[in-house]
Amino acid sequence: MIIKKFQGNTETEAIMLAKENLGKDAIVMNIKTIKPKGLFKFFRKTLVEVTAAVDEVSDKHKAKESETASKINASIDEKLHPSAKTANSTSDDGKDLEEKLNSLAMLLEEQIENSKNDRKKDALKTEKKTEKKLADTEKKLDEKKESGKDTEKTKEKDESKETSSLKDKSIDLIMEQLTANEVSYQYAKQIIDEIMHAGNIRTLDDMLACVYQKIILKLGQTKPISFDKGDKKPKIIFFVGPTGVGKTTTIAKLSSKLLLDEKKKIAIFTSDTYRIAAVEQIKTYANILKIPVEVIYETKDLDKALPKYSEYDYILIDTAGRSHKNKEQTDDLKALYNAFEDCTLFTYLVLSATTKYKDLKKITSLYEDITECCLIFTKLDETDAIGNILNIKLDTGMPLSYISYGQNVPDDIEVMNPQIIAKQLLGGGDGYGSGR
Ligand SMILES: Nc1nc2c(ncn2[C@@H]2O[C@H](COP(=O)(O)OP(=O)(O)O)[C@@H](O)[C@H]2O)c(=O)[nH]1
Ligand SMILES: [Mg+2]
């Protein structure tokens, strides 16, 4: 993993620098404005600093990665053992992240403290035995004190024992935290294994920072609605997924944002003619926004409807909820896709964060067979355990896009922010479901 900071006059300039240096897969982890201080503030411009990271490393980058990892470790070492400052420990890479994670670290440290207290009772019982052992150890230590060399060795041993026991405790706590948030055990363990394998991790802070970064990298680049090179107008955006997950509500929210914030020309087509009132529901939203709606009963209805919107930017298509068990319904969807020949199609698979992992797996595997999708997770306000977002991302590799966290149109939706999800998974920050 490579983590670097880039400064530019604007956010875009700093991000471009990051992408040039780390490659297009680089993920922006933090953006901050740096205001000049002291006398210089009158002469210098405000800069934007972007912290970016990349996971997939080429051979060329591997050396840089270990260099960065050792810088992070050195900066943490310096904080813990100021006297042991080395010539290489001047960099403050990773320090910002460390600071950000302080609250998380405190939380986990609190848990360590609590579990320590719980164990105090047991400890009292064994106190007598321990006292004897300690006395023995002290005696031995006294003997060893006579030889300075031996004492140094014992000290080192004790320190490494302490470090490894703290490491084990930290691993347990982080595993507990992730699995309590329903990150699958397999993925939680994978994350821990990868960070332990990658570097010199000694403290809880250190470990938390690495897990946080790892999760962000695993959540990957988000893919909101956009026009890409080679896309044809109008770009056709399908919203698919099970019944009741919030497809229609999501279309209403996104139409409003695209229309009002991005000044795009939008039309809505609905093929959801199975459910009574489904057409009325989308028409109600569209009327408020003055967006045209076409109802597609059969694929041949498209022949008439499509030419009317050749100058539009986007046509958002609302579809009927599909059961992953109903083959007829999935065949209908395939037929609808085929009817849009020569168009640029894009599909968002809408999933509820409240659905069981086992069902989400089945649903995503059905859509994987039909087309490439991006994922939208809804109803984050209805659950605290959002591990399935990471699980499904890692199972399918589908890019994540939006997060919906309430029924309010158009407010309760945002482009997914990996930092917020990673923090929430580690038990920190104000998650999407907490009424932000
Ligand atoms: N709590 C919550 N409810 C939502 C969210 N998105 C949609 N809903 C509600 O879920 C219900 C079903 O939504 P709808 O858009 O009709 O789902 P569809 O069948 O997939 O089109 C409605 O009552 C929505 O208000 C969300 O993010 N959070
Ligand atoms: Mg609907």
**Domain match, 272 and 170 both:** no
Which pLDDT score is estimated for 378?
Answer: 98
Q: Is 405 in the pocket of ligand 1 (CB under 6 A)?
A: yes
**Per-residue pLDDT tens over the stretch 375-413:** 999 999 999 999 999 999 999 999 999 999 999 999 999
**Concatenated DSSP letters for 164-212?**
HHHHHHHHHHHHHHHHHTT--HHHHHHHHHHHHHHS---SHHHHHHHHH
DSSP H helices in 220-326: 247-256, 278-289, 301-305
**Domain match, 272 and 379 both:** yes
**Domain match, 62 and 122 both:** no
Q: Is 434 in the pocket of ligand 1 (CB under 6 A)?
A: no
Find the ligand nearest to 322 CA.
Answer: 1
Out of 247, 249, 283, 317, mutate this one to test ligand 1's pocket (max ligand atoms within 8 Å of CB): namely: 249
Q: Is 247 in the pocket of ligand 1 (CB under 6 A)?
A: yes
Ligand 2 centroid – CA 246 distance (Å): 7
Could you tell me if 216 and 278 are in contact, meaning their C-beta atoms sit under 8 angstroms apart?
Answer: no
**Domain match, 84 and 119 both:** no
Note whether residue 210 is domain-resident: yes
Note whether residue 395 is domain-resident: yes
pLDDT band at 204; cut points 50, 70, 90: confident
Q: Is 253 in the pocket of ligand 1 (CB under 6 A)?
A: no
Neighbours of ion ligand 2 (CB under 5 A): 247-248
Note whether residue 202 is domain-resident: yes
Q: What is the CATH number of the domain that holds 288?
A: 3.40.50.300
Dihedral angle sign, alpha carbons of residues 396, 398, 400, 406: negative
Which pLDDT score is estimated for 15?
Answer: 87
**Domain match, 198 and 273 both:** no
Which pLDDT score is estimated for 201?
Answer: 75
Q: Is 406 in the pocket of ligand 1 (CB under 6 A)?
A: yes
Note whether residue 146 is domain-resident: no
Ligand 1 centroid – CA 163 distance (Å): 48
**Domain match, 31 and 172 both:** no
Note whether residue 230 is domain-resident: no
For the chain, what percent of residues have pLDDT higher than 70? 71
Of the candidates 184, 244, 181, 219, the one whose C-alpha atom is nearest the C-alpha of residue 374 is 219
Q: Is 379 in the pocket of ligand 1 (CB under 6 A)?
A: yes
Q: Is 319 in the pocket of ligand 1 (CB under 6 A)?
A: no
Give the mean model confidence (pLDDT) for residues 229-236. 91
Q: Is 248 in the pocket of ligand 1 (CB under 6 A)?
A: yes
The answer to whether residue 85 scores a pLDDT higher than 80 is: no
Give the mean model confidence (pLDDT) for residues 38-52. 69
Q: Which residue has the higher pLDDT, 100 or 214?
A: 214
**Domain match, 121 and 173 both:** yes
Which pLDDT score is estimated for 152?
Answer: 65
Q: Is 168 in the pocket of ligand 1 (CB under 6 A)?
A: no
Note whether residue 148 is domain-resident: no
Both tokens of residue 276?
A: 């009574």
Which pLDDT score is estimated for 54?
Answer: 80
Q: CA dihedral defined by 425, 427, 432, 436, rounded to 10 degrees?
A: -160
- Where is the domain boundary, 63, 93, 123? 93
**Domain match, 266 and 377 both:** yes
The answer to whether residue 94 scores a pLDDT higher than 90 is: no
Find the ligand nearest to 245 CA.
Answer: 1
Peptide bond into 234 cis (omega under 30): yes
Structurally, the chain folds into a number of domains equal to: 3
Nearest CA to ligand 1 atom 13: 246
Both tokens of residue 376?
A: 């939208």
pLDDT band at 305; cut points 50, 70, 90: very high
**Domain match, 276 and 403 both:** yes
Q: Is 407 in the pocket of ligand 1 (CB under 6 A)?
A: yes
Could you tell me if 404 and 246 are in contact, meaning their C-beta atoms sit under 8 angstroms apart?
Answer: yes
- Where is the domain boundary, 93, 118, 143? 93
Distance of CA 211 to the CA centre of its chain: 11
Domain with 107 in it: 101-132+163-219
pLDDT band at 370; cut points 50, 70, 90: confident
Question: What 3-state class would DSSP assign to 32?
Answer: strand
**Per-residue pLDDT tens over the stretch 336-351:** 899 998 899 999 999 9
pLDDT band at 50; cut points 50, 70, 90: confident
Q: Is 220 in the pocket of ligand 1 (CB under 6 A)?
A: no
Q: Which of 155-159, 182-186, 252-256, 356-360 has the lowest mean pLDDT?
A: 155-159
**Domain match, 74 and 111 both:** no
Q: Is 411 in the pocket of ligand 1 (CB under 6 A)?
A: no
Q: Is 285 in the pocket of ligand 1 (CB under 6 A)?
A: no
Which pLDDT score is estimated for 72?
Answer: 37
Cα–Cα distance between 202 and 424 in angstroms, integer?
Answer: 23
Which pLDDT score is estimated for 212?
Answer: 94
Cα–Cα distance between 61 and 46 in angstroms, integer?
Answer: 30
Task: Looking at the CA of residue 405, tell me the nearest atom of ligand 1.
Answer: 27
Distance of CA 151 to the CA centre of its chain: 47
Cα–Cα distance between 154 and 120 in angstroms, integer?
Answer: 26
Find the ligand nearest to 282 CA.
Answer: 2
Which pLDDT score is estimated for 275?
Answer: 74
Which pLDDT score is estimated for 127?
Answer: 53
**Domain match, 280 and 413 both:** yes
Note whether residue 158 is domain-resident: no
Task: Looking at the CA of residue 241, tell me the nearest atom of ligand 1.
Answer: 20
Ligand 1 centroid – CA 160 distance (Å): 53
Q: CA dihedral defined by 414, 418, 420, 426, rounded to 10 degrees?
A: 150
Ligand 1 centroid – CA 245 distance (Å): 6
Give the mean model confidence (pLDDT) for residues 110-137. 57
- Is 260 exposed, middle or buried, given 0-12, 13-18 or 19+ CB atoms closer than 10 A? exposed
Nearest CA to ligand 1 atom 6: 246
Q: Which of 214-228, 268-282, 290-304 has the lowest mean pLDDT?
A: 268-282
pLDDT band at 87; cut points 50, 70, 90: very low
**Domain match, 377 and 273 both:** yes
pLDDT band at 83; cut points 50, 70, 90: very low
> What is the rounded radius of gyration, in angstroms, for the C-alpha atoms of the chain?
27
Of the candidates 325, 331, 320, the one whose C-alpha atom is nearest the C-alpha of residue 297 is 320
Which pLDDT score is estimated for 73?
Answer: 42
Note whether residue 253 is domain-resident: yes
- List CB contacts of 76: < 8 A, sequence separation 6 or more: 94, 98, 202, 203, 205, 206
Q: Angle at CA 246, nearest 5°, toward 244 and 249?
A: 130
